[in-house]
Amino acid sequence: MANEALDLDRLSLNQMTTRNLSVREVADLCLRHKIKNIGLWREPVSKTGIRETARIMRDTGLHVSSLCRGGFFTAASEADRAERMDDNFRAVEEAAQLGADTLVLVCGGTLDRDLQKARRIVCEAVHKLSDFAKDNGVRLGVEPLHPMYTATRSVVVTLAQALLVVANLPPRLAGVVIDVYHVWWDPDLYAGIENARGRIFGFHICDWLDPMPDFVNGRGMMGDGYANIRRIRQAIDASGYSGPIEVEIFNQKIWEMEPNETIKLIKERWRDNV
């Protein structure tokens, strides 16, 4: 593969890739390895505390490329959906406090075997949330998930569909987050990337393994699998995206690695595969 020099300044470490570390530890890891961006998750952030996390981000000068995650809009009852919406309001506030580029939305699974209904609920919820996000200066990034997660995680499963969800919202406010793992298979991917111009709020990478070690935590290190990460990255760049590229890998074996070794491996694979 061509050895194209992709600026390491674009590298972002999603904290799930080193999930055993606290926010403080992962921030120190980034500093030690001159990584300038970080992707945060709400659960570990809440353990450290939102104010303490924000302070760590300011102290270290780390740029928060995304906060994962809002969404899961498709609860069964009106009451449950209202509760989910409240949680999303809190997620927006947290993203604002952390100065995150984008709040990532994983929209929620199917409902009563009615995909169409679930998809309508998602559209309505994202629109409702967008007013609140606007007031808080937070961008919403709808992340299409792999179709194998349709049942319980996201009825939004293609980039084209994610773009439809945000189509009627201002491009500066609502866009998409593209994760190689979720979209690499899509025959319409490159058309989708071109159509996403100006709406790409985040780009996540890892690789697709087969056989898959685990249905949820079976993602691979870049270069270990089947996805053409570089081609997708080049298409995304060509579509005008020049922001951080988050390495987000859910994989037990990678979680068991010594974190400094994980970063060395990421940088090596970045050079050859991203």
Which residues make up the interface to a copy of itself (CB under 8 A)? 109-110, 113-115, 119, 146-148, 150-152, 157-158, 160-161, 184-187, 208, 210-212, 215, 225-228, 231
CB atoms within 10 A of CB 49: 12
Structure tokens at 69: 């995650």
> Which of residues 51 and 226 has its CB atom nearest to a copy of itself in the complex?
226
> Which of residues 16 and 159 has its CB atom nearest to a copy of itself in the complex?
159
> Which of residues 146 and 269 has its CB atom nearest to a copy of itself in the complex?
146
Residue of 175, 154, 149 lying closest to 163 (CA atoms) = 175
Query: 129: exposed, middle or buried (C-beta count within 10 Å: 0-12, 13-18, 19+)?
Result: buried
- What helix, strand, coil percent values describe the chain, rounded to 5? 45, 20, 35
> Which of residues 231 and 253 has its CB atom nearest to a copy of itself in the complex?
231
- Min CB(19)–a copy of itself separation in Å: 20
Q: Which helix (H) or strand (E) holds 263?
A: helix 259-273
Residue of 62, 65, 59, 84 lying closest to 73 (CA atoms) = 84
> Which of residues 65 and 158 has its CB atom nearest to a copy of itself in the complex?
158
- Min CB(245)–a copy of itself separation in Å: 18
- Min CB(44)–a copy of itself separation in Å: 24
- Are 100 and 138 spatial neighbours (Cβ–Cβ below 8 Å)? yes
Residue of 192, 201, 197, 161 lying closest to 70 (CA atoms) = 201
